[in-house]
């Protein structure tokens, strides 16, 4: 078990861009989910706001969906035979 000195101040990284924060607005940041048994030093030192993270994921999915639709034209139909079924 590690013993910390009184002068120990952990350093944290914030996952979000500074432009996401508005002056005077309170935002709750929590530790990002990570592997508890990770060997990496500082593995649990990233702060994240879950609402902002959800918004970022939604924005990315919408952008990916728009990119996937490039080249699709609803009115660009192939020739369809209109034969009569007997």
Number of domains present in the structure of the chain: 1
Please report whether residue 59 resides in a domain: yes
Residue 71 lies in a domain: no
User: Greater confidence, 72 or 27?
Assistant: 27
Pairing of strands 30-31, 46-48: antiparallel
Position with higher pLDDT, 71 vs 24: 24
CA 56 to chain centre: 4
Q: How far apart are the first and last CA of the chain?
A: 82
Residues listed for the chain: 86
Residue 4 domain-assigned (yes or no): no
In a domain? residue 35:
yes
Q: What is the pLDDT of residue 73?
A: 65
Domain containing 55 equals: 13-17+24-66
- Confidence (pLDDT) at 80: 58
Q: Is residue 39 assigned to a domain?
A: yes
| In-domain check, residue 51 | yes
Tell me if the pTM is above 0.75: no
Report yes or no: 42 and 11 within 8 Å, Cβ to Cβ: yes
Query: Three-state DSSP class for 48?
Result: strand
3-state secondary structure at position 14: strand
The tally of CA atoms less than 13 A away on the side-chain side of residue 7 is 0
Instruction: Quote the mean pLDDT of the chain.
Output: 77
Question: Is residue 32 domain-resident?
Answer: yes
pLDDT tens, 25-50? 899 998 888 777 765 655 568 889 99
């Amino acid at each position: 078990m590690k013993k910390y000195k009184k002068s120990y101040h952990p350093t944290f990284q914030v996952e979000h861009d500074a432009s996401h924060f508005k002056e005077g607005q309170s935002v709750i940041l929590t530790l990002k989910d990570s592997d508890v048994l990770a060997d990496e030093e500082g593995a649990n030192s990233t702060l994240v706001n879950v609402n902002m993270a959800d918004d970022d994921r939604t924005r990315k999915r919408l952008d990916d969906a728009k990119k996937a639709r490039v080249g699709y034209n609803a009115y660009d139909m192939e020739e369809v035979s209109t034969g009569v079924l007997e």
